[in-house]
Amino acid sequence: MPLAERLRPHSLDDVVGQSHLLAPGKPLRLAFDTRRLHSMILWGPPGVGKTTLARLIAQQFEAQFIAISAVLAGVKDIRDAVLLAEQARAAGRSTLVFVDEVHRFNKSQQDAFLPHVESGLFTFIGATTENPSFEVNSALLSRATVYVLQPLSADELQTLARRGLAASGGLEIEPQALALLAAHADGDARRLFNAVEAVAAAAGEAGRRLVDLPLLEAALSEALRRYDKGGDQFYDVISALHKSVRGSDPDAALYWMARMLDGGVDPLYIGRRLIRMASEDIGLADPRALGHTLDAVAAFERLGSPEGELALVQAVLYLAIAPKSNAVYRAAGEARRFVREHGTQAVPMHLRNAPTKLMKQIGAAQGYRYAHDEPGAFAAGERYFPEALPEARLYRPTERGQEARIAERMAELQRLNRQARAAAASPESAPGDKA
């Protein structure tokens, strides 16, 4: 039996993670404690306990547990589940139907559950990695409570790793190796247990009881983000990919990406890093870069491997050849530094909303100039910073790509501001000076 199955929790107290749902007083814990069984949809990434929770619910309520995989099943499997549920009800027993990857079912397949959920023939639990708002029929969604499950934290993964090693012959592990093992799992308990099994096998062959970094790296030489005989580590390779994109070398970027995919890295991890690069190294020099990258990640999520990997390749090449700017990245840092330096300042009265009579009486929104009513939809001379602060220039566009035009636009707006403020400050514009 696989380690992940051997260590599957038998009670809520054994579950690691999802404390926002399972801690005392939290929604799923209350459902368990009050024995109020209801249909639900568990939404979260792979390996975070969706199937485990469904099994525990069936166990807690002594219900027949019927598992259906939407990847493999069809309407016939749903009919079979209905028949089993009817037989269980005749015997005085309730039924829980668990549908894994429910988003893979089409509308008619999802609709097939509705009459039986409404009649109470069985309790429905769907598991999905996709947003149920878009992937689950509204009729079924309205009859189920959606619970969002989170990726397991590094500490939670380390706890599970210790359990797995203890169950694999009482192995011990060095702290640095434990941290790397948790990082390899990337929030996924199933992936963690698969890695622990590989490590345990390697330790057994070597006659070792202590897992250190060399043993860990040797055991997971392909899966643990190690890519050649020279021993390059995962973060070295992702760094090389990032620097190749930043350096506008599409061929090198493609090489490093191929190394990562060949080494077994989750392509979605690469996608997340590419999204970061689109903002950090390109930004508004080519605003389309972020959209292209998000579309590539969405395409991979829809197609999976290997078909969807081509979309990620397209994104890497686009980012590498796009004009580069780190102005957005620098602006974010400057803004944080500016806020730390100047602290919390009151919002100027003319920028506040005035939805109530009292707010209007204290002067909120008075003097605000609606930009769309001004020439060129720009209220020249208006101030939007707190009154006690100087106007800071946090975003400084480069002269590359689209940012060159943004820089021109900002320079023109600043010129209009200076002109309007100079006119407002001149003696001719002061109230009462004109005869």
Give ∠ CA 265-147-130 in degrees, rounded to 5: 40
Confidence at residue 293, expressed as pLDDT on a 0 to 100 scale: 96
Residue 140, amino acid:
L
Task: Kindly report the backbone phi and psi dihedral angles of residue 190, in degrees, each rounded to the nearest multiple of 5, phi listed first.
Answer: -65, -45
Confidence at residue 429, expressed as pLDDT on a 0 to 100 scale: 56
Confidence at residue 244, expressed as pLDDT on a 0 to 100 scale: 94
Cβ-proximal residues to 187 (8 Å cutoff; 6+ apart), any chain: 45, 47, 48, 151, 152, 153, 157
What span, in angstroms and rounded, lies between the C-alpha atoms of 279 and 310? 21
Asked whether the beta carbons of 81 and 66 are under 8 A apart, the reply is yes
Asked whether the beta carbons of 144 and 40 are under 8 A apart, the reply is yes
What span, in angstroms and rounded, lies between the C-alpha atoms of 96 and 375? 64
3-state SS, residue 250 = helix
What span, in angstroms and rounded, lies between the C-alpha atoms of 378 and 415? 12
370: left (phi over 0), alpha (psi -120 to 50) or beta: beta
What span, in angstroms and rounded, lies between the C-alpha atoms of 44 and 177? 27
What span, in angstroms and rounded, lies between the C-alpha atoms of 322 and 315? 10
Task: Give the DSSP per-residue string, 86-141.
Answer: HHHHHTT--EEEEEETGGGS-HHHHHTTHHHHHHTSSEEEEEESS-HHHHS-HHHH
What are the distances in angstroms from CA 260 to CA 19, 209, 240, 242, 286? 33, 30, 11, 12, 26
Asked whether the beta carbons of 327 and 284 are under 8 A apart, the reply is yes
* Token pair recorded at residue 312: 């990620």
Confidence at residue 276, expressed as pLDDT on a 0 to 100 scale: 94
Q: Where are the alpha helices (DSSP H) in 322-356?
A: 327-342
81: left (phi over 0), alpha (psi -120 to 50) or beta: alpha
Q: What is the pLDDT along the chain (435 residues), one digit of tens a residue?
A: 788 888 888 888 889 998 999 988 888 888 888 888 889 999 988 888 898 999 898 888 888 999 988 877 777 888 889 999 999 999 988 999 999 888 888 888 888 888 888 888 899 999 988 888 888 888 888 888 899 998 898 899 999 999 999 988 888 998 988 988 888 887 889 888 988 988 888 888 888 889 888 888 878 764 544 344 333 456 778 889 999 999 999 999 999 998 888 777 888 889 999 999 999 999 999 999 999 999 999 999 988 888 899 999 999 999 999 999 999 999 999 998 988 888 778 889 998 888 888 888 888 888 899 999 999 999 998 988 888 888 888 999 989 998 899 999 999 999 999 999 899 887 765 544 433
* Token pair recorded at residue 46: 């792979």
- Nearest of 152, 146, 107, 111 to residue 125 by alpha carbon: 146
